[in-house]
Structure 1
């Protein structure tokens, strides 16, 4: 009974952390209006959380060894809970962004350490059960986040999407303080690689700022963009050099000598771009352009979550039966491309029903990509290198998500300006359709009591609003097509993956690339 309670508790904590990666997406417009921020600034609410996860995930094993797993886990839950409350109390967009960053620092352990605890609770012969339980949580969290966020935002207010973490967090702390112990074998802590952590944090933060603010501030015409670009290049370059040089790196890049891990890490980065960018784009598109309520927007993604769970179970079975991971990854990526193509073809008259099928393609595609990618990542690794390989793979997914949102925002801005210019160029008073529409608008406002001059100005404003809305719609279509192009462009790398048996010298039966009973374990950093 104690084991069951602890298992449910830590899985609930992991799902809570995953929900927070997407629960804010449908509330961005409300946050933007309430805090007086632009959409570009508000997107930092998502990316700050993702960056914090990227920084903390690779070092959770060290921190658990340094402070004791029990202390580190409970401390992380407390940190996550406190900053969740402070997020709801934020009075400015940058206060909210800062709180989200520290919430993400605490949340990193809620995923990786929770996984280790669950696997420890199950005997070796039932590890597949633990894998299935945690695998479902991996998909349920992000997919129900928008639905839950939409309901809360519409019926209450956006701060409550953070306040709901407080009672759950307190319950997790209370239960774990009584039931959670130390692992049977506590690793000996080594020296912490502060240099590597600092270089990673500064490099990723600088690059993220360049991607987020570059378009707004005309890129390299702004001095600070130039400075941060140089800082990002120098820090990330020296980070790679440093991590390859020292004996106990915070991120062991030496494992990338495995060709399969290198390919999987690249494709995981791409899948992160698609996963997080699509969950970011769809709510904004539905609310800002189509007028969907937050609840309606959240419900768009709900059917896909059910298919994602089914896809996860089916994928695990197919992998156990010997279907090569490369085949599954290719199928999933093509399904995601189909999703982007269908969504890009929607117009401003689209309704709920037009989204369901494409979003189901997206959900199934992402579901059948993730587990095979994790299987491919570890298929060429020695057992001792698997924890670091999975940590690196998890980091690439989060990094891809934060970069993807920044790139998509920049691309939207540029394409919107181009489409607006093109549309305006075709609107001339010599065009009978334009003059007829303008006359109709003018008469409408005159009928509402406006003077002829005021009615003319209001008619021109309404015509311009139509141009803005249409250019935005075309820009979103281009953004979805860009995601599809990124996925298609990454497919040839799969041809480089080794699909044969393990390399010579590996103990027989260890980590076959085609047949891994614990296929979804590599999803988790433990």
Structure 2
């Protein structure tokens, strides 16, 4: 009997409930990636640390999760998919409690690392188990449900984080995981017992694991501290970059020659998987870059509060929720390459609209691209996830899902770092160009005639120039991100045509 055959006693209501539990567990983990973003000022104030130290609360979680995600395939093969899923949920919930009880930054960062280590496998395992419990013809709809939680999580995170931190205290952003984590773990134990996979005594590849931790840790530190240290003008960042690059090369060679690799790099031999994941990484990097930039630009330049910036960002959620089940259905009938290409082109067009934003833009002008983006995201996300997982053998599914989620997470971190750096650097260039061509004396005289003091008139001109330079720079970055989306839309066509209706272990290459 195939290890990944449909489960006979999971039908009707039980199947739907199991699918909901898997999707909801994934939602909780994805939500935790962004829920702390807007709460950092509250956390740093409460623990009396600097803002740059506060960002370690976000990045420590991301690093731990990124390290654990590719290990999912090995863990599932060694201990069983359902068992690891349940253990991960209990561990994640325990560390959520400890995060909420933290009294110092060190304790909070340590507990966030614990949260990330247990949270890492939940994403790919929820995906693998959904594929496992649904028959092939329903797998696309199941992936639609999963993708919906992955897309909506980062949108709701900042709103929930801001509202909870403003009205109660930041500790509650972690405590809200308790009922969800325990509920999902207990339900998974009851419902998914029959979906357990066979286990083998797999040897642990210690060398591969050490190399993985080394190069990912160095890369994430480089991305976190690069902006603060002026990137490659600082020797520390250069050293981190060298460690990450050499570590990645040695790790790749090691894993290709190891008999029991900790990460199954061989999966990249499937063209369908490689191209789909590459397009997904480029698309998600550009998408995440804009998600990080927009709320900051709204708050710094247009004077939006954190809550209102969150609301504006969240207008994207409506289209995503509406389109996810529709796209899942379309994916069973039409060429998924065309759907993904359409979605990415639409995202490129939406990002191009943002390249013409001005400081006078009203709420609707800013919300329209967000709403359209919501409709576009499922078109790129669902078909690419389906195509990637359809390209591998059933027994490679957990490893493939782990690799795909790992590359998506890393692409998001890299995209955000590059977008913010480009934005800041170009703003300086734009400011000096504007200052050079501005007739300050004329403008100042006009302001003085209106009753302003010389000091306040200069400060007023300076803040205007800053705002305009920042907006011009943001437009410049949006233009680059739009081109990245179009590039991703083009490379999808290098994929072999997927068989319609096949999603899991269909082997299309």
Question: Aligning the two structures, in what range does the TM-score lie when normalised by the shorter sequence?
Answer: 0.7 to 0.9
Q: Of 464, 471, 474, which residue of structure 2 is paired with 1:473?
A: 471
Q: Of 129, 141, 154, which residue of structure 1 is paired with 2:153?
A: 141
1:462 aligns with 2:460: yes
User: Are the equivalent residues in 2 in contact too, given 1:375–1:520 (CA < 8 A)?
Assistant: no
User: Are the equivalent residues in 1 in contact too, given 2:387–2:503 (CA < 8 A)?
Assistant: no
Cα displacement (A) at 1:359: 0.8
Cα displacement (A) at 1:496: 2.4
Compared with structure 1, are the counterparts of its residues 126 and 339 closer, same or farther at alpha carbon in structure 2 (3 Å cutoff)?
Answer: closer
- Give the Cα–Cα distance (whole angstroms) in 2 for the partners of residues 521 and 111 of structure 1: 21
1:403 aligns with 2:403: no
Compared with structure 1, are the counterparts of its residues 332 and 123 closer, same or farther at alpha carbon in structure 2 (3 Å cutoff)?
Answer: closer
Q: Of 236, 239, 253, which residue of structure 1 is paired with 2:251?
A: 239
User: Are the equivalent residues in 2 in contact too, given 1:62–1:189 (CA < 8 A)?
Assistant: no
Counterpart secondary structure, 1:260: helix
Computed over aligned residues only, the root mean square deviation of the Cα atoms, in angstroms, reads 3.2
- Give the Cα–Cα distance (whole angstroms) in 1 for the partners of residues 28 and 281 of structure 2: 23
Q: Of 334, 349, 354, which residue of structure 2 is paired with 1:338?
A: 349
- Give the Cα–Cα distance (whole angstroms) in 2 for the partners of residues 180 and 370 of structure 1: 26
Quote the residue 2:9 is aligned against: none
1:53 aligns with 2:65: yes
Deviates more, 1:416-425 or 1:380-389: 380-389
| C-alpha distance after superposition, 1:61-98 (max 9, x if no partner) | 32244445565334322332233344445567676555
Q: TM-score, normalised by structure 2?
A: 0.85
| C-alpha distance after superposition, 1:397-438 (max 9, x if no partner) | 1110111112122212211221222222234444x1233235
Cα displacement (A) at 1:108: 1.7
User: Are the equivalent residues in 2 in contact too, given 1:144–1:302 (CA < 8 A)?
Assistant: yes
Compared with structure 1, are the counterparts of its residues 316 and 28 closer, same or farther at alpha carbon in structure 2 (3 Å cutoff)?
Answer: same
Quote the residue 2:10 is aligned against: none
| C-alpha distance after superposition, 1:333-352 (max 9, x if no partner) | 11111221222222222232
| C-alpha distance after superposition, 1:243-271 (max 9, x if no partner) | 11112212222221222222112111112
Q: TM-score, normalised by structure 1?
A: 0.83
User: Are the equivalent residues in 1 in contact too, given 2:389–2:401 (CA < 8 A)?
Assistant: yes
Compared with structure 1, are the counterparts of its residues 418 and 91 closer, same or farther at alpha carbon in structure 2 (3 Å cutoff)?
Answer: farther
Equivalenced residues, count:
495
Compared with structure 1, are the counterparts of its residues 172 and 491 closer, same or farther at alpha carbon in structure 2 (3 Å cutoff)?
Answer: closer
- Give the Cα–Cα distance (whole angstroms) in 1 for the partners of residues 193 and 469 of structure 2: 57
Quote the residue 2:200 is aligned against: 188
Quote the residue 2:360 is aligned against: 349
Quote the residue 1:391 is aligned against: 402
- Give the Cα–Cα distance (whole angstroms) in 1 for the partners of residues 165 and 15 of structure 2: 36
Cα displacement (A) at 1:145: 2.4
Cα displacement (A) at 1:10: 4.0
Cα displacement (A) at 1:210: 2.3
Query: After superposition, where does 1:109-508 map in structure 2 within 5 Å?
Result: 109-118=121-130, 127=139, 130-173=142-185, 181=193, 183-321=195-333, 323-430=334-441, 432-437=442-447, 440=450, 443-444=451-452, 455-499=453-497
- Give the Cα–Cα distance (whole angstroms) in 2 for the partners of residues 325 and 177 of structure 1: 34
Compared with structure 1, are the counterparts of its residues 78 and 520 closer, same or farther at alpha carbon in structure 2 (3 Å cutoff)?
Answer: same
Counterpart secondary structure, 1:20: helix
Cα displacement (A) at 1:21: 2.3
- Give the Cα–Cα distance (whole angstroms) in 1 for the partners of residues 320 and 133 of structure 2: 26
Counterpart secondary structure, 1:14: helix
Deviates more, 1:139-148 or 1:41-50: 41-50
Compared with structure 1, are the counterparts of its residues 220 and 19 closer, same or farther at alpha carbon in structure 2 (3 Å cutoff)?
Answer: closer
1:516 aligns with 2:495: no
- Give the Cα–Cα distance (whole angstroms) in 1 for the partners of residues 138 and 230 of structure 2: 56
Quote the residue 1:504 is aligned against: none
User: Are the equivalent residues in 2 in contact too, given 1:243–1:253 (CA < 8 A)?
Assistant: yes
Compared with structure 1, are the counterparts of its residues 374 and 29 closer, same or farther at alpha carbon in structure 2 (3 Å cutoff)?
Answer: same
Counterpart secondary structure, 2:33: coil
Counterpart secondary structure, 1:189: coil
Compared with structure 1, are the counterparts of its residues 171 and 193 closer, same or farther at alpha carbon in structure 2 (3 Å cutoff)?
Answer: same
Cα displacement (A) at 1:194: 2.3
Compared with structure 1, are the counterparts of its residues 94 and 217 closer, same or farther at alpha carbon in structure 2 (3 Å cutoff)?
Answer: farther
Compared with structure 1, are the counterparts of its residues 484 and 131 closer, same or farther at alpha carbon in structure 2 (3 Å cutoff)?
Answer: closer
- Give the Cα–Cα distance (whole angstroms) in 2 for the partners of residues 67 and 327 of structure 1: 39
- Give the Cα–Cα distance (whole angstroms) in 1 for the partners of residues 106 and 445 of structure 2: 46
Query: After superposition, where does 1:23-42 map in structure 2 within 5 Å?
Result: 23-28=35-40, 30=42
Cα displacement (A) at 1:221: 3.6
Counterpart secondary structure, 1:21: helix
